[in-house]
Structure 1
Amino acid sequence: MLSAQRTHFIGIEDYLRGELISEIKHEYLEGQVYAMAGASKNHERVVMNIGAIFSGHLRNTRCDTYSSNIKVRVGDIAFFYPDIMVVCEDNTDNYYTDQPVIIVEVLSKSTRRMDETTKMRLYQTLPSLQEYVMIEQDIVDVEVCRRSEGWISEHYFMGDEVMFAAIDLTVSVNEIYERVVNDDVTSFLKGEGV
């Protein structure tokens, strides 16, 4: 998650060197560096759920699932730390990739605007990217934008199944929100008699 805190303009090489020794993560956008903020328990539950589902499915394949410790590079414009990425072909850098096939961001009040605008626009310029996924943590809503469908959003809710075509995987929204505590999940579970 990006915080509103900015530092001075720096070049890409200085940014990358700084990230190797920094105790906190920063994202880079057009020469500006932004400190990353912490996350909520619900945010982490969603990230861990989707990460585990992707990792289990991709075991013994050429694809890797990365969490928010690996950066995605968007040309010479930006470096972001997506919540989850799937990468099936990669460059040789150990700390970032520019070839994700799926990027997942878990939305919060502080990151929603950036995730839905700037990041979406920049991510969609990556030739390898097939699906950009935004998952709400405070309500149930999984939004998937697919290159094959002109990046038009599709929304999925409790009881629905989501197809991640880039990795040939279908996942229930219920699995994505397992152990998440919000009104939508609670209402759905009460309706099921759980």
Structure 2
Amino acid sequence: MPPLAHQFDYLSVEDYLAGERESEQKYEYVDGKAYAMAGASANHNFIAGNLYALIWYHQRDKSCFPMTSDMLVKTTAKRFRYPDLMVVCDDDPSQDTYVRESPILIVEVLSGSTHRKDKTEKRAEYLALPSLLEYVLIEQDIAEVVVQRRSEAWRSTYYYPGSTVTLESIGLTVAVEAIYERVDNADMRVFWAETNNHE
């Protein structure tokens, strides 16, 4: 982000968007201020990459398609976020090739630094988008996928290893294990073992 972000208490939307096109660091924009995005772990990248690939293959000949965390979503006139993954359609009204405005599905992979914000502040912004049909929260340290659907009044439904997740917004059903492919750490192995012992 250009020095403007650090020299003034308020940054205009126009200056923010111009800065994002040039910046090597990604920033989210909230009410006139730019906030740096933290780096992501290997597990985070595996999870986001796995789900992106599954959605891309499923949607390859359809009008709606996945986009990665390099694409901004405009949640309000003064707020821009970088979801880990979202699905948008050809009819998205945005005239900016760096921004989308009408996602039908948003996915966030949770980490210690983003857990609370993804479940509160960002959730409120995402669910207020008229286009959004589903919000998915994926833990990266335990095997747990949470799906919230507009059709179910945004009630949380939880999925664990041994079950499948249906993303109704795009008609895709995937195994929880497919989402966590290559994810391998102590907490995950213990959780998977405990789950399998209960079967």
Partner of residue 10, structure 1: 11
Match for 2:107: what amino acid?
V
How do 1:177-192 residues align onto structure 2 when only pairs under 5 Å count? 177-183=180-186, 185-187=188-190, 188=192, 191=196
Q: Distance in 2 between matches of 1:182 and 1:116?
A: 24
CA distance in 2, matches of 1:128, 1:147: 10
Q: How many residues align?
A: 187
Q: 2:92 corresponds to which residue?
A: 90
Q: In the alignment, does 2:137 pair up with 1:134? A: yes
Distance across 2 between alignment mates of 1:60 and 1:185: 34
CA contact (8 A) 1:131 1:145 kept: yes
Name which of 155, 176, 182 aligns with 1:173: 176
Task: Choose the corresponding residue for 1:115, options 115, 118, 135.
Answer: 118
**Distance (whole Å) between structure 1 residues aligned to residue 78 and residue 118 of structure 2:** 16
- Equivalent of 1:148, from 148, 151, 157? 151
CA deviations 1:120-146 (Å, max 9, x no partner) are 000001011000001000111101110
Matches for 1:51-62 after TM superposition, within 5 Å? 51-62=52-63
What are structure 2's unaligned runs of at least 5 residues? Answer: none
Aligned to 2:104, the other structure's residue is in SS state strand
Superposition TM-score, scaled by structure 1 size: 0.91
Letter in 2 for 1:169: L
Identity among equivalent pairs (%): 47
8 Å CA contact retained: 1:139, 1:182? no
* Paired residue type of 1:171: V
